[in-house]
Amino acid sequence: MNAGLQESVQKFIEHHVFRHTGSVDTWNVPFYHINALEWLRYDGVMLGVVVLLLCVLALRVRRRYQTIPKGFAAITELYVLFIRDHIVYANMGEVIGRRFVSFFCTLFVFILCGNLLGLIPLFSTVTGNISVTAGLATIFMMVCLYAVLRIRGVHGLVSAFVPHGLPGWLMPLMVVMEIVSFFSRVFALTIRLFCNMLAGHIVIYSLIGMTIVFGWVAIPSIAVAVVMYFFELFVAFLQAYIFTLLSAIFINIMVNPEH
Amino acid sequence: MMLPLAEISTAAIGAGLVIVGAGLGIGIVFFSGLQSMARQPELQSKLQTQMIIGAAFIEGAALFALVICLMKG
């Protein structure tokens, strides 16, 4: 492939992947060009759509909740029990976990909806924007510090960064390393979610971009792109689960002293 | 040293090396997980959870380096 074709494929990928970030230029939108589906390619608008969807679903469950739930409320109850038993109580214990069940439920369903709605062709992926995932990881960091402060007190906040049972001369180095590892966990969470979502879309755009570069010969690559869509579906669920699970594990590491 | 007449994109070489490391790491995790599942089938669900967590850690680390490769070239 010569440099011209390579550049055009790169431009195709960049045009499709990076056009979803950015803000809506409200002063320059002509009135007769406003198409409802056009707005959804902006990540900010998509964020509002995801939040709206979650609020609508939550209100639907809350208004019709009976003692023995039926229908959608039963599925929601199954979901909350799954998060509570397998993610929160398994990692943080019952006493501490009670406060945080709602946080993890919200986190999981938000990331899941964000990932899944990005698979629809004209919608943009909310969690594929690094600002959104950085925001989620910052929220996790705040919840982690709040958990340590609330459960272990201000003294606990200092002692959470000081590992147990070390010779005295090693302490400053280990404290620095613990603080660095705390921030690297936050950074790892954001980049893991962002890269997994972005990489899925880049692969699909590359495969479809091959038909642009090579023409009729590359029709089977569309079949491969469909297979990659199914894999991206699996990755959407997996990444939501991994983000929530790792948040629970990291909060447990900070809150419970490890002996 | 290794630049013949055409240019070699170092970002692509870096990305390839990252994937070699990640593939080896995830392969080792799943190899030992499957071996343990074959020895003790009753631990299957616990081991599966741990394997997926380990694979996600390794993939996260590989994606750091991949982001740097993508930024470079």
B2 pLDDT more than 80: no
What confidence score (pLDDT) does residue A70 get? 77
Give A37's pLDDT tier (boundaries 50, 70, 90).
low
The residues, any chain, with a CB within 8 Å of residue A91's CB and separated by 6 or more, are: A97, A245, A248, A249, A252
Judged by CB atoms closer than 8 Å, whether chains meet at A192 and B60 is answered as yes
| Alpha helices for chain A (secondary structure H) | 3-18, 36-39, 43-63, 72-82, 89-92, 94-117, 130-159, 171-214, 220-255
Tell me if chain B has a CB within 8 Å of the CB of A1: no
Give B1's pLDDT tier (boundaries 50, 70, 90).
low
Burial label for A184, CB within 10 Å (0-12, 13-18, 19+), is exposed
Among the residue ranges A133-137, A209-213, B48-52, the one predicted with the least confidence is: A209-213
Most distant pair of Cα atoms in chain A: their distance: 72
CA end-to-end span of chain B, whole Å? 20
Tell me if chain A has a CB within 8 Å of the CB of B19: no
Tell me if chain B has a CB within 8 Å of the CB of A90: no
Distance from CA of A62 to the nearest CA of B (A): 32
Give A21's pLDDT tier (boundaries 50, 70, 90).
low
SS3 call for A165: coil
Tell me if chain A has a CB within 8 Å of the CB of B31: no
Q: Are B36 and B47 in contact (CB under 8 A)?
A: yes
**CA distance readout (Å), A210 to A94, A120, A204:** 52, 21, 10
What confidence score (pLDDT) does residue A112 get? 96
A27 pLDDT more than 70: no
* Chain A residue with the nearest C-alpha to that of B60: A192
Within 10 angstroms of residue B44's Cβ, the number of other Cβ atoms is 13
What percentage of chain A has pLDDT greater than the value 90? 37
**Of residues A42 and A112, which shows the higher confidence score?**
A112
What confidence score (pLDDT) does residue B5 get? 59
Most distant pair of Cα atoms in chain B: their distance: 59
Most confidently modeled range among A63-77, A155-169, B39-53: B39-53
Give A129's pLDDT tier (boundaries 50, 70, 90).
confident
Which chain B positions have a beta carbon within 8 Å of A246's beta carbon? Answer: 53, 56
What confidence score (pLDDT) does residue A115 get? 95
Cα(A240)–Cα(A104) distance, integer angstroms: 11
The residues, any chain, with a CB within 8 Å of residue A231's CB and separated by 6 or more, are: A200
Q: With CA atoms as reference, report the closest residue to A125 among A16, A230, A222.
A: A16
A135 phi and psi angles, rounded to 5 deg: -65, -40
Residue of A111, A185, A189, A195 best to disrupt the B interface, most CBs of B under 10 A: A195
What confidence score (pLDDT) does residue A3 get? 61
Which chain B positions have a beta carbon within 8 Å of A199's beta carbon? Answer: 63, 66
Which chain A positions have a beta carbon within 8 Å of B60's beta carbon? Answer: 188, 191-192, 195
Q: Are A140 and A247 in contact (CB under 8 A)?
A: yes
Q: Are A206 and A257 in contact (CB under 8 A)?
A: no
Tell me if chain A has a CB within 8 Å of the CB of B11: no
- The mean pLDDT of A6-18, rounded to a whole number, is 68
B4 pLDDT more than 70: no
Which chain B positions have a beta carbon within 8 Å of A238's beta carbon? Answer: 52, 56
Tell me if chain A has a CB within 8 Å of the CB of B63: yes
- The mean pLDDT of B28-54, rounded to a whole number, is 92
Q: Are B25 and B57 in contact (CB under 8 A)?
A: no
A80 pLDDT more than 60: yes
**Of residues A29 and B23, which shows the higher confidence score?**
B23
A68 pLDDT more than 90: no
Give the A window 200-259 contacts with B, CB below 8 Å. Answer: 238-239, 242, 245-246
